[in-house]
Amino acid sequence: MIRQRGFALVSAIFLLVIVAALAAFAIRIGMAQQSTVDLRLLQDRAQAAAQAGIEWGTYRVNPPSGAPATCVSLSPPLAFVVNGFIVTVDCKPTSHTEPQPPPGISFTTYDITATAQSQRAAYGSPDFVYRSVTVRLVR
């Protein structure tokens, strides 16, 4: 009688390859989900930095205690760093006069634009984030 050996070894190697492939797939999916969460966090931080720029520009246009409005229309626009993001604030004032009713009403609109982009990542890299927010104020 001839005893056959090695058949169990073939099935064990097959099962080992299948389990390793499933583990590699699970790790890859987990890493993709983690990078998605990291990118979403960076996007939220960029949005918050741009919103901080808008709030700063709004404060300059509408200061407390009746001080005169100062619009940040600099060339190049004012830039500062907030928590790893370069925030650029630009303001464009436009004066208007309504002819009716006499004596016309004069007012100024301020278009404030704040942009935030990653300080550490270059354009085109996976970690690059850019957000822009624009508001229009009438005073």
- The two tokens of residue 58 are 């709004």
Does residue 41 sit within a domain?
Answer: yes
Residue 75 above 60 pLDDT?
no
Does residue 103 sit within a domain?
Answer: yes
pLDDT at 74: 59
Higher-confidence residue of 131 and 66: namely: 131
Given the structure tokens 């690059």, which residue do they identify? 128
Does residue 128 sit within a domain?
Answer: yes
pLDDT at 17: 93
Domain extent, residue 96, equals: 7-138
Q: Considering the entire predicted model, what is its pTM? A: 0.71
Does residue 36 sit within a domain?
Answer: yes
Does residue 54 sit within a domain?
Answer: yes
Residues in CB range of 88: below 8 A, 6 or more apart: 53, 77, 78, 79, 114, 115, 116
Does residue 101 sit within a domain?
Answer: yes
The count of structural domains within the chain is 1
Residues in CB range of 117: below 8 A, 6 or more apart: 46, 85, 86, 128, 129, 130, 131
Give pLDDT tens digits for 56-70: 888 888 888 777 777
Does residue 70 sit within a domain?
Answer: yes
